[in-house]
Chains A and B, each alone.
Chain A
Amino acid sequence: MTVRATAAALCALACTALSNPVNAANFEFWYGNTGKIEEAIQANCASFNAAQSEHKVTCVGQGGYEVAMQKAIAAYRSKTHPVLIQFFDAGTLDLLLSNAVVPVSEVLPDVDWNSYIGGARSYYETSKGALWSQPYNASTLIFYGNREALASVGVSELPTTWEGVIKVATKLRDAGHACPYATDGHPWRVLEQFAARHGAPVATKGNGFAGLDAEYAFNAGLPAKHMENLAGWRKDGLVRLAADTRAGKFADAFNAGECAMIENSTGGYSSHLAALGDKLMVGLAPMYEGVERRNTLVGGASIYVMKGHGEDQIKAARAFLDFLRDPAPQLEFVKATGYVPVTQAALDLIKTTDRASDPAFAVAELGVGSMDVAGNEYSRGIRLGFFVQFRDIFMEETQKAFNGEKPMQAALDSAKTRGDELLRRFQATYAGVTLP
């Protein structure tokens, strides 16, 4: 036993030692998605490799956005990082200041970056207009309804205002519906997208675009009132948290027909469509009456070019980015995932062909439309340090409010205080670095 096992062990030692060479003709692209989206990414990679013979991309799934970033950090510290890497929206500022990436507008100076839809671009753009990453799997928040459930109380159109949502929810509740509206309380849905489209600040200094000394500001005004309302509506049986549902997850509860309305990413569209078919209704995320609608934020992730690679690698990476920007692979991706196209050309291609009637593309226009509304300084995006950690804090604190441990306002105040501490520490970590 021991001899053979030892041999196996030694082989494992030797074999792993050889597993990491960087081949000049090949390059790596790391991404975080799993499941259906991973398949679509791999399809993109395969068609790139099939379309030309000069470069070969190896696309490596890292099992999640956060873990992909953690892997990239560790890899960058040990200089074993890939050329291209996909990061998610919340990590934007961490990357901007990392000194580990080159802006795509520098790597590809000849590209007309204005062909990107404004809402998709501004999130990743500096105040001086340099674009840091190429938007890839872009999504945004939209509103979903269950036609059958709504029809049962005589409603045939999705409400577009919160007042309307509550009117419908009340009817549903009074008709004995257990779950009129569901949410998981994730800040991307209930805070970031909400504040952006209502033009309200998440943080001062234009959500951090104007400086590292920003402070959180969501604990006052409309965002705070909305959170307060959600807690109250939950008490009234109009709103259900994911934890209140049988399914335990809000999107699954919607798919099962348990809940009648949700706000979710366009990325959830394909699963909702598969579950509900023509019972599925989609619309713009609801507004409070009397507030001007701004753009919603781009969600999902974008692709960054990492520093420390030779010209041949960069050249190959350029070719891959060019390929992904083409309308055809974009549409292939959009169709498979429910993400929205990110360039005008891709959007036009949908409109000018018979795809317009294909339900797989039904949210593309809606989502782009939602991002393409005139915005203000608070709807450009989120540029706050350690924002991933803040999201956890926000969830934790508001959960305390939902389960009755403390009032919502106290929870928001405490989330702000804890969030501000993160911001100050981020500022100290990057002392002497100016925001690009």
Chain B
Amino acid sequence: MVENTKSIDRVAGLILALGMGFVLLPLVVALVTATQAYETVLTGGLSWLPGDQLLVNIARVFEETALPGQLVNSFVAAMLVATLKCLFAFMTALAIVFFQIRWGGALFALTLVTIMLPLDLRVITTYQVAADVGMPVNLVLDVFGIGPLMRLSVLDTWFGLAAPLVAHGTGTFLFRQAFLAMPRDLPRAAVMDGAGPVRFALDILLPLSRAPLIALFIMMFLGGWTQYLWPLVAASRPDMQTAVVGLSRLANDMPGAVPDYPLIMAGALVVSAIPLAMVALLQRFIVRGYALSEK
């Protein structure tokens, strides 16, 4: 900095300490409460002194609740969202940027519109579509007086949890930017060397887009894991719900004189452990992911 103003640095330090305190407060409360016995919380309320029941409470999460299976659902759904999104977005951007297609611009514009209206806004009708994915086919057949061809609901399936989240344009936008930012001569040289589109995509484009690809994958994984409204409606059977939804249902439905906060907090820790570890360890990719979405 320009001048060595100790007092300003001290204020800045204080501000950062307060900010970190605010971020850590609920996490610490969750952790400390998860170490306590139910009876302790019942009589003493929120306390800052750790107890010795952490493992007991976590064991109870795995034995008494449906969360273990729901964690699998969360993991599979988040993996599906991240994988399909990266794959499909890469393919679409590849076609738009490197292929001779006349309607590429229009297609790109139609893809971008999806960014403005998030899934949570249109959940009512998306639900109806997910309950009857053959709807467009059947609507057409209806016009010709032919009966329905396909009756298929993707509610309560992993695919149904993930697919509507994949129908979103950020990835395409991102890859298109990355492709356009590459040196123009590179693809031309490759083509002159006789590389076909597939080899070009796999051998040249893919390695060059590693950074945005990883960032996008992580962001989409986190997004898929922490989604709430869509999984809430798309999977109602407890064995198909995601962990975040399962935890929230657990807290609301559980009988007990006072909600079993140690168990709920232990559940919150278990549910958040994987994404939280990803955030703490893969920090730089997240910063990059945010930087990408900025462009």
Q: Which residues from chain A sit less than 8 Å from chain B, CB to CB? A: 2, 5-6, 8-9, 12-13, 16-17, 19-20, 34-35, 60-64, 67-68, 70-71, 74-75, 77-80, 246-248, 251-253, 255-256, 258, 271, 275
Contacts and interface: CB of A to CB of B under 8 A. Distances in A.
B153 interface: yes
B185 interface: no
B131 A12 contact: no
B256 interface: yes
Interface of B: 76, 79-80, 82-84, 86-87, 127-128, 131-132, 134-135, 148, 151-155, 157-160, 162, 233, 236-238, 241, 249, 253, 255-259
Contacts of B255: 35, 251-252, 255, 271
Given A12-B162, A248-B259, A271-B255, 18 more contacts: A2-B86, A2-B87, A5-B79, A5-B82, A6-B87, A20-B151, A20-B153, A62-B237, A63-B238, A70-B236, A71-B155, A71-B236, A74-B131, A75-B153, A77-B131, A78-B152, A80-B151, A247-B256
Contacts of B237: 60-63
A204 B170 CA distance: 54
B81 to A, nearest CB: 10
Contacts of B241: 63
A251 B254 CA distance: 12
A247 B128 contact: no
A247 B153 contact: no
A15 to B, nearest CB: 8
B122 to A, nearest CB: 15
B205 to A, nearest CB: 13
Contacts of A12: 76, 80, 157-159, 162
A16 B148 CA distance: 20
Nearest to A64: B236
B213 to A, nearest CB: 9
Contacts of B157: 12, 16, 19
A16 B158 contact: yes
30 contacts: A2-B87, A5-B82, A5-B83, A6-B87, A8-B76, A8-B83, A9-B84, A12-B76, A12-B162, A16-B160, A20-B152, A34-B238, A35-B255, A61-B238, A63-B236, A63-B238, A63-B241, A63-B249, A67-B233, A68-B236, A70-B236, A74-B131, A74-B132, A78-B135, A79-B151, A80-B151, A80-B152, A252-B257, A253-B257, A258-B257
Contact of A74 (B128, B148, B158): B128
B152 A17 contact: yes
Contacts of B76: 8, 12
Nearest to A251: B255
Given A9-B83, A62-B237, A247-B257, A74 B155 contact: yes
Q: In this complex, which of A19, A251, A253 has the most chain B Cβ atoms within 10 angstroms of its Cβ?
A: A19
Given A63-B236, A248-B258, A8 B131 contact: no
In the A-B complex, the 5 residue pairs with the smallest Cβ-Cβ separation, listed nearest first, are A78-B132, A256-B257, A74-B131, A16-B157, A5-B83
Contacts of A9: 80, 83-84, 87
A275 B162 CA distance: 42
A299 B84 CA distance: 46
A338 to B, nearest CB: 13
B257 A255 contact: yes
A358 to B, nearest CB: 22
B199 to A, nearest CB: 16
Nearest to A14: B159
A80 B80 contact: no
A80 B157 CA distance: 14
Contacts of A61: 237-238
Contacts of A246: 258
B83 A6 contact: yes
A70 B234 CA distance: 11
A247 B261 CA distance: 11
A256 B258 contact: yes
Given A62-B237, A246-B258, A247-B258, A16 B154 contact: yes
A333 B2 CA distance: 78
Contacts of B127: 74
A35 B256 CA distance: 13
Given A2-B83, A16-B157, A71-B236, A77 B256 contact: no
B128 A77 contact: yes
Contacts of B158: 12, 16
A2 B253 CA distance: 39
Nearest to A258: B257
A38 to B, nearest CB: 9
A13 B258 contact: no
A414 to B, nearest CB: 26
B107 to A, nearest CB: 23
Contacts of A62: 236-237
